[in-house]
Amino acid sequence: MFSGIVETVGILRQISHSENGAEAHIDTGSIDLDDAEIGDSLAVSGICLTVTEIEADAVKLFVSNETLSCTVFGSYREGTRVNLERPLRMNQGLGGHFVSGHVDGIGRCVQSARDGASLRLEVKVPQRLGRFIATKGSIALDGVSLTINSAIDGAESTIFSVNIIPHTLKATTLGCLSVGDRLNIEVDVIARYVDRLAHFRWNLK
pLDDT tens by residue, 156-170? 999 999 999 999 999
pLDDT of residue 1: 86
Would you call 140 exposed, middle or buried from its count of C-beta atoms within 10 A (0-12, 13-18, 19+)? buried
pLDDT of residue 35: 87
pLDDT tens by residue, 26-53? 999 899 888 899 999 999 999 999 999 9
78 and 111 belong to one structural domain: no
Query: Is residue 97 in some structural domain?
Result: no
Q: Into how many domains does the chain fold? A: 2
Q: By the 8 A CB rule, do 101 and 50 touch?
A: no
Its domain, for residue 130, covers 105-203
Residues 6+ apart with CB under 8 A from 122: 109, 110, 111, 112, 159, 160, 161
List of E strands, the chain: 8-18, 21-27, 41-44, 47-54, 58-64, 81-85, 105-115, 118-126, 138-141, 144-153, 157-164, 182-187
pLDDT tens by residue, 86-141? 998 766 667 778 899 999 999 999 999 999 999 999 999 999 999 999 999 999 99
Q: Which of 100, 35, 21 is nearest to 67 (CA)?
A: 21
pLDDT at position 204 over 60: no
62 and 118 belong to one structural domain: no
46 and 117 belong to one structural domain: no
State the CATH number of the domain containing residue 193: 2.40.30.20
